[in-house]
Structure 1
């Protein structure tokens, strides 16, 4: 293991930066215990004199834990007691770091029922 991999592992093991989760390929029932780093970058874009708030939810996953994350995979985010607090679904990919250690995935919340859909109008 080189110094870069050790640094990445240290970040993912830090309880202030990362959290426990279960990764479920294709949203199935088989799950893999992983550590993820959750990010919520925000930007404001101006188009035609109107401003739009561009919110995104991203998770970073070590490729040593999930070699090929895919659209439709689901991630159960866990609290300190190991209980699922939220489930998100992979909707897109941002990038893989230059050392091919970490993949950044765009995710969105999974609604338990149509009434729980945060994006329904």
Structure 2
């Protein structure tokens, strides 16, 4: 295993960064238990010459856990359900991490 692969595992398994989650393809069973990292960066949107700040939720997941996440798939973290909203993208050049833009659908 490469040093980068070890770093990815450390990133997801860190108790302060990673979280246990349940993944459902298409929002349905079967359930896959995995570790994710949730990020909530602000997104700047320009509308009619005005910049607005929009809160976003990005859930990082290992490619080893989910080969191809898709729009409509869901993650449940601490009882809150997030749905992938849009096309997930690769976060790294080695294709080890998916970045999934999500929105909260249930609590």
TM-score calculated relative to the size of structure 1: 0.80
Equivalent of residue 87 in structure 1, options 76, 81, 84: 81
Match in the other structure for 1:21? 21
Larger Rg: 1
Structure 1 gaps of 5+ residues are 79-84, 113-121
> How many angstroms does 1:89 deviate by?
0.4
Runs of 4+ aligned residues of structure 1 deviating over 4 Å after TM superposition are none
Structure 2 gaps of 5+ residues are none
Aligned residues: 106
> How many angstroms does 1:74 deviate by?
0.7
Q: Deviations over 1:25-82 (max 9, x none)?
A: 110121101100001110334443423112211100000001110111011103xxxx
RMSD across aligned positions (CA):
1.5
TM-score calculated relative to the size of structure 2: 0.90
Match in the other structure for 1:116? none
